[in-house]
Chain A
Amino acid sequence: MLRWSGWFVGGVALAVMPWLVGAAFPAQQRYILHILVFTGLFAALALSYDLVVGHVGSLSLAHPAFFGIGAYAAALLATRAGWPFLAGLTAALVCAGLAALLIGVPAFRLAEHSFAIGTLGFALVTHVVVTNWVEFTRGPLCVTGIPRPVIGVGALSLRITTVPHYYWLALTALALVALLYRGLTTFRLGRAFNAVRDDEALAATAGINPLKYRMLSFVIGAALAGGIGALYAHYITVLCPEELTIALTVNLLVILFLGGVGSLRGVVLGAVLFTALPEILRVAPTWRLVIYGLLLLLMVIKWPEGLDAALRRAGRRPRA
């Protein structure tokens, strides 16, 4: 009962956030919602990454490439071929998923660390191609004029134009990704994924095909990243190759380890902290990044297993 009412209140609060923010900080509504859109997209992207890193234990460094493939697929299809938003979004999901399937076949032949290096290579190559294939991607000139998304057709169509609209779109995307994440990582599927992560040989004696499960999480994670890339491209409307750099992997890893690898609540919390903290710290502009770095360092020292584990321990203590 308590659980459900908590979810309900939280859900309603998130849904009416634009008005709450508008009432509390009228002058900064757009800015705060803009940060929240980024938070939502980052949280969804981190969840898609955690499917691979946290649940089958494959340290893939290729996630920015899948994000970028999706973003470019949607951006180019919308600007050059005039594809509607939902068609482009679907294409982004499919392209990124297919890319993962193609790169996964050779990469999963490599053991742990070599797998990380192999996927890193793919990420770097993708970045180089996007930067230099100027005729196709416009390279450093960036894809510009990506249209605002329109969902549906004719009289029933929904135009996403204002920041609150984008906020609801990002929130919906996050909710869908979180639902899928939960479905995949708990109960029987989650058990099989985690078995592969904990001990591959033992998983095989349990009748689990380790490669199949690693591939499944890798492809689903990549497809989701591609979809989020499409949303991102349609939000910022200008897409440059810099979005695909390895810095994104570092950010995602920080979110995962800050919040707690393999935990839905932890990863979302990590994403919130990661995107909100630097903005809150704008009150001290000169020292902002120094304080931010120190805070991250402190959190990692104080809660090495992540915020989720720390919260769970704190929640248990009074009852025990």
Chain B
Amino acid sequence: MTPLFEVRGLTKRFLGITAVDGVDLALERGELVSLIGPNGSGKTTFFNCVTGFLPVDGGRVFFRGGEITGAPPYRIARLGIARTFQIVSVFARLTVLENLLVFLQQHQEENFAGRLLRSRRIHRLEDQALERARSLLALVGLARVPTTLAGTLSYGQRKLLAFAAALMPEPELILLDEPTAAVNPTMINQMKELILALHRLGKTVLLVEHNMDVVMDISQRVVVLDHGQKIAEGPPQAIRRDPRVLEAYFGR
């Protein structure tokens, strides 16, 4: 069976520096995989290339057997790939609830006239979206602040909101860019539980993460990048002892 998500020989250069260098990666349905590596090893660039935010210089990306290399971000999102950003972002002048609703509406089939005139069909879709948004807010613990402007939330709350928003359209593949960076230990645990919950629901998750405890604790497989190249891949226990990985992180 073809993997759900496959990257072949992905290469990205910035002014002669090769940030991502011929990286291969395949994710099977339902896998929870972490992408790690020292600062500047190309993890976020990899994310940006496969989600269409950066043009690639080489290699191909496939999702559900179809090629998505070079497709614009909004189209990749509509295919069922969600992503979060390292620097947490929400729509600051929309309310918490609206932040979630806007993530589903583009996936629901509708036309401009129907939207402008607010047909009965649109109202039914909106009700479905509202129901889903409320259950996700309950999941991440933001159910009490649905009408607050997202820009006034705390950093941690915004992070939870961004996470919940990414789940709104029920994506098959979720790419999380450092979900536990810069949050307190309680929330690191909460985030960990949420990612595991996604995994139990059968979602495919690719995680970029710096917190090794989280990575080693929840990943089924770990991929290590260094200077843009994949230097190791395997189960967490093996990666922990891999001499190439230790060298990349601590030097010789």
Q: Which residues of A contact B (CB under 8 A)?
A: 183-184, 187-189, 191-192, 194-195, 197-199, 201-210, 262
Contacts and interface: CB of A to CB of B under 8 A. Distances in A.
B78 interface: yes
B92 interface: yes
A217 to B, nearest CB: 12
Interface stretch (B33-41, B103-111, B205-213, B215-223): B103-111
Given A187-B115, A189-B115, A198-B94, A209 B72 contact: yes
Given A205-B166, A207-B107, A198 B93 contact: yes
Given A201-B73, A206-B165, A207-B78, A195 B83 contact: no
Nearest to B92: A198
Contacts of A192: 102, 105-106
Interface in B68-93: 72-75, 77-78, 82-83, 85, 89-93
B164 to A, nearest CB: 13
Given A205-B82, A206-B77, A195 B94 contact: yes
Contacts, number: 85
B53 A202 contact: no
A202 B90 contact: yes
Nearest to B95: A191
A306 to B, nearest CB: 14
B85 A201 contact: yes
Given A201-B85, A204-B73, A207-B74, A194 B107 contact: no
A198 B92 CA distance: 6
B105 A191 contact: yes
A184 to B, nearest CB: 7
A116 to B, nearest CB: 20
Interface in B7-58: 51-53
Given A191-B101, A206-B103, A206-B106, A201 B115 contact: no
Contacts of B72: 204, 209
Nearest to B80: A207
Interface residues of B, number: 36
Contacts of A187: 115, 118, 126
A194 B77 contact: no
Q: Which applies to chain A's interface (DSSP): helix, strand, loop or mixed?
A: helix
Contacts of B102: 191-192, 195, 203, 206, 208
A194 B90 CA distance: 12
A168 B75 CA distance: 46
B132 to A, nearest CB: 14
B120 to A, nearest CB: 14
Nearest to A210: B74
A266 to B, nearest CB: 14
Nearest to A198: B91
Given A198-B92, A203-B102, 13 more contacts: A183-B118, A188-B122, A191-B101, A191-B102, A192-B105, A194-B93, A201-B89, A202-B89, A204-B52, A205-B77, A205-B166, A206-B106, A207-B107
B169 interface: yes
Of residues A202, A208, A210, which shows the largest number of chain B Cβ atoms within 10 Å of its Cβ? A202
A127 to B, nearest CB: 33
23 contacts: A183-B116, A187-B118, A188-B105, A188-B110, A191-B101, A192-B105, A194-B93, A195-B94, A198-B93, A198-B94, A199-B91, A202-B85, A204-B52, A204-B72, A205-B51, A205-B166, A206-B74, A206-B102, A206-B103, A207-B74, A207-B77, A208-B106, A262-B93
Nearest to B98: A191
Nearest to B125: A188
Contacts of A183: 116-118
A175 B211 CA distance: 57
A189 B98 CA distance: 12
Contacts of A205: 51, 73-74, 77, 82-83, 85, 166
Contacts of A197: 93
A41 B91 CA distance: 33
A207 B116 CA distance: 19
Contacts of A199: 89-92
Nearest to A204: B73
Nearest to A180: B116
A198 B118 CA distance: 24
A229 B248 CA distance: 66
